[in-house]
Chains A and B, each alone.
Chain A
Amino acid sequence: AQSVTQPDIHITVSEGASLELRCNYSYGATPYLFWYVQSPGQGLQLLLKYFSGDTLVQGIKGFEAEFKRSQSSFNLRKPSVHWSDAAEYFCAVGARNQGGKLIFGQGTELSVKP
C-alpha cells in the first residue's frame, strides 16, 4: 500500500540550531516528492519538490531536502532555524500517471525555542 510516514509528531529546536524533519514513503511507482509548510491559520505553502535529477533540492526560506532512493526517504533540513519557522510541515508523495493525487504524511509540528 502507498503511504507516507513522518515519524516525529512534534519537534522542538532552539533558534539558530539545525533542523532535520524525517519523511519515509512506500510507493510503487517512481515518486514525486514534496514538502509543504502550514503556518498557524494558513493554508499549505510549497517549500520544495523533487521530480528527478539531482537528489539534493533547494527550496524557499533556506530549506533543502535530499532524496535517498535506497532508504525511501526525503528528509527536510535547514542549517539554522528562525523563530518564524515554527509551523507544521507535511511531506507528500505523488507520481506520474497517478491521477494527480498526492498522499500526505501525518505532519510534524515544529516549535522553536528562543
Chain B
Amino acid sequence: SRELTQPPSVSVSPGQTASITCSADKLDNSYTSWYQQRPGQSPVVVIYQHNKRPSDIPERFSGSISGNTATLTISGTQTMDEADYYCQAWDSRTNVVFGGGTKLTVL
C-alpha cells in the first residue's frame, strides 16, 4: 500500500515561511490534502486537491505538487499556526492513507 513520508518536525520563526513536505512512491491519480490539528482539537482541512484552500482558511496557507512530493507552505507564519500537520492521499485500492504527521513549532 502507499506510504506518505513527512518530516517529524519543522521549526520556523514568526513571520517566516514554513514548508512541510509529503513524499510518496507514487501520487498519480490521487489528490493530496492537508490537515491541521492543534493540541486537544480535531483536525481541520487547510488544503485539498493539492492546492485548493477552503474559504475559511487564511491565504498564507498554500499547497503544491511536484512529481511525487506534495508541499504545504505557510507564508508569514504566526504563533497560532503551531500544530501538527498531516498529509492525506488515496492508494490504488481507493483506501485512505495519512502521512505520519509533522509537528510545526513557531519560535
Answer yes or no: do A and B interact: no
